[in-house]
């Protein structure tokens, strides 16, 4: 999936965790490009590998995690062979920032918000404390939080305020790329809508490229230019947000789309039967085959590659042609 103005390019990324039951294949050979100014939505069920993909790109895996990749290029710089120290000073937070899942809980309850901004910056760059606090105050204002909250402890803030603080913190060193991992999941629908709107404003204000991770395809439809659909550690479909909704090719994407309730149509809510596979012992062939309504013998033996179709649309299904709109 090449992009003429790619700002983040990932080739053949694999992440495996060692577990007492054997290796768990969490991310399997993922390649993609993120264009400059683009927001790519990453959608899939819990456990499909979305967060692990983000942590693999940033090399922030837990100790039992191992990664390999042909290349990971951040703003033209290949980070695969970079030392941990160089990655920390030259890439993490300065070029590529990450807002973690459950980020409201990522703030340390024992430290004031301002101190946590200072600590974050000190881990990646040499900047005077007063300068950090001044900039943090400006960012808080931009995300709709009173700069006086720099003096507050996290437990004095609401869930929505904490999420806004985390977005501001991700932007403190002016990265060009931000990965937001389920940033609206723990919030009520009104705050969720406010955070999405805020992110849209920040994205154009700061000229950001971003990856927006969510298990909720309707949230992704609100925010993304392009969508990658993950299933069992692999990208099974990638296309513009309108194609993913209007002309999904992969049966898993079709199931995700059908599972979105539509209050205007009086149709029962449908769901994808079964559960995601055990990634220590994944099924052979197409990993979606035990749940797929269109499964054939070939699907149980051969893993379909991600192939291009008209309109910059990619899908991994042996029978993709059936659903390709000409």
Residues lying near ligand SF4 in the complex (CB under 6 A): 250-251, 286, 288-289, 292, 294-295, 299, 304, 317-319
For ligand SF4, the closer of residues 106 and 295 by Cβ is 295
Tell the smallest beta-carbon distance from residue 295 to ligand SF4 (Å). Answer: 4
Tell the smallest beta-carbon distance from residue 292 to ligand SF4 (Å). Answer: 3
* Residues sharing a CB contact under 8 Å with residue 322, sequence separation 6 or more, in sequence order: 294
* Residues sharing a CB contact under 8 Å with residue 204, sequence separation 6 or more, in sequence order: none
Q: Are 71 and 115 in contact (CB under 8 A)?
A: no
For ligand SF4, the closer of residues 66 and 300 by Cβ is 300
Tell the smallest beta-carbon distance from residue 224 to ligand SF4 (Å). Answer: 22
For ligand SF4, the closer of residues 67 and 319 by Cβ is 319
For ligand SF4, the closer of residues 64 and 275 by Cβ is 275
Tell the smallest beta-carbon distance from residue 269 to ligand SF4 (Å). Answer: 22
* Residues sharing a CB contact under 8 Å with residue 39, sequence separation 6 or more, in sequence order: 203, 209, 210, 211, 212, 223, 224, 225, 226
In this structure, the number of other CB atoms found within 10 A of the CB of residue 127 comes to: 14
For ligand SF4, the closer of residues 144 and 283 by Cβ is 283
Instruction: Reduce the DSSP state of residue 229 to 3 states and report it.
Output: strand
Strands 177-181 and 209-214: parallel
Task: Put the strands of the sheet holding 234-240 in their side by side order.
Answer: 96-99, 177-181, 209-214, 39-43, 226-231, 234-240, 313-315, 307-309
Tell the smallest beta-carbon distance from residue 272 to ligand SF4 (Å). Answer: 11
């Amino acid at each position: 999936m090449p992009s003429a103005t790619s700002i983040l390019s990932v080739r053949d990324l694999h992440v495996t965790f060692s577990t007492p039951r054997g290796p768990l294949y969490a991310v399997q050979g993922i390649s993609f490009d993120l264009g400059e100014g683009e927001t790519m939505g990453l959608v899939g069920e819990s456990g499909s590998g979305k967060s692990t993909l983000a942590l693999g790109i940033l090399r922030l895996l837990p100790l039992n995690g191992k990664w390999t990749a042909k290349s990971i290029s951040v703003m033209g710089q290949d980070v695969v062979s970079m030392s941990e120290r160089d990655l920390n000073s030259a890439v993490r937070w300065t070029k590529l920032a990450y807002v973690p899942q459950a980020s409201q809980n990522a703030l340390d309850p024992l430290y004031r918000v301002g101190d946590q901004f200072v600590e974050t910056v000190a881990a990646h760059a040499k900047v005077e404390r007063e300068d950090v606090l001044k900039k943090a105050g400006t960012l808080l204002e931009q995300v709709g939080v009173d700069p006086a909250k720099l003096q507050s402890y996290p437990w004095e803030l609401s869930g929505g305020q904490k999420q806004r603080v985390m977005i501001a913190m991700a932007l403190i060193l002016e990265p060009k790329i931000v990965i937001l991992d389920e940033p609206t999941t723990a919030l009520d629908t009104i705050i969720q809508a406010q955070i999405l709107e805020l992110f849209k404003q920040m994205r154009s204000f700061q000229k950001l490229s971003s990856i927006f991770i969510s298990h909720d395809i309707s949230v992704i439809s609100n925010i993304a230019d392009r969508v990658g659909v993950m299933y069992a550690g692999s990208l099974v479909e990638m296309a513009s947000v309108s194609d993913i909704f209007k002309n999904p090719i992969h049966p898993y994407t079709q199931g995700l789309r059908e599972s979105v309730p539509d209050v205007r149509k009086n149709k029962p809510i449908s769901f994808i039967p079964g559960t995601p596979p055990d990634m220590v012992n994944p099924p052979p062939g197409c990993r979606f085959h035990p749940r797929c309504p269109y499964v054939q013998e070939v699907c149980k033996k051969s893993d379909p590659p991600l192939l291009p179709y008209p309109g910059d649309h990619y899908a991994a299904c042996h029978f993709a042609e059936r659903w390709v709109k000409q």
